[in-house]
Amino acid sequence: MRRFVVGAAIPEGVLARVLQAAHAAPSVGLMQPWRFIRITDAALRARVHALVDEERELTAAALGPRAEEFLQLKVEGILECAELLVVALGGNRDVHIFGRRTLPQMDLASVSCAIQNLWLAARSEGLGMGWVSLFDPQRLAALLEMPTDAEPVAILCLGPVPEFPDRPALELDDWAFARPLDEFVCENRWNQPPGEPGPGQPAPAAGAGTASTVPSQSV
């Protein structure tokens, strides 16, 4: 969500519940790498917005021919939303090895689970949420006086919204279109459609059905 009801507020109890839902997320090795910084200072919110707006311009420049089209999109609601949260990875994460020896990025995956929980809990409370990732992490970390081994991951805009559109905003703006599930599921090897024989396997006997667990129609 990028459009919010200006001047609205979130009751403290509701905010506590959505944060509790985030904190109930699964995490690799139970490391709970998430940190939540609530931005309540209006001047600080304006500085966060300025950082995002700078990155919005740089993103537009990097997009080349789609720059102007991108600049027409609404890509954040930082100044309008009722609550602004910055979610970060905490420091000292290297001590957590369980589940991260070969995949250290599982700390980020765990934080993403927490943010998804927050997103769904907010929706069930009738609130909208927008995830903003247009920022320079080092500059945001400096602004919020984070230790050098912590890392901001998301700026979350949270609050009452005028409406919940029934399609992604980027589709409504003709920017990008979601593709159906069956383009993302394969079986036994990369890009093999479900139900087709695997490497070195015979084709299934006529009438035997398929081993597919995923319906092939679009969702």
Ligand X SMILES: Cc1cc2nc3c(=O)[nH]c(=O)nc-3n(C[C@H](O)[C@H](O)[C@H](O)COP(=O)(O)O)c2cc1C
Binding site for ligand X (CB under 6 A): 2, 75-76, 131-134, 168-170
3-state SS record for 145-209: CCCCCCEEEEEEEEECCCCCCCCCHHHHCCCCCCCCHHHCCCCCCCCCCCCCCCCCCCCCCCCCC
Q: How far is the CB of 130 from ligand X (least distance, A)?
A: 6
Q: How far is the CB of 44 from ligand X (least distance, A)?
A: 19
Tokens of 9: 């507020």
- Determine the straight-line distance between the first and last CA of the chain, rounded to whole angstroms: 22
Tokens of 158: 């949270």
Tell me the three state secondary structure of residue 45.
helix
Between 25 and 169, CB nearer to ligand X: 169
Q: How far is the CB of 80 from ligand X (least distance, A)?
A: 13
Between 28 and 161, CB nearer to ligand X: 161
Please give the distance of CA 143 from its chain centroid, rounded to a whole number. 22
Between 126 and 147, CB nearer to ligand X: 126
Residue whose CB is nearest to ligand X in the complex, by number? 168
d(CA 9, CA 160): 8
Q: How far is the CB of 164 from ligand X (least distance, A)?
A: 9
Between 8 and 170, CB nearer to ligand X: 170
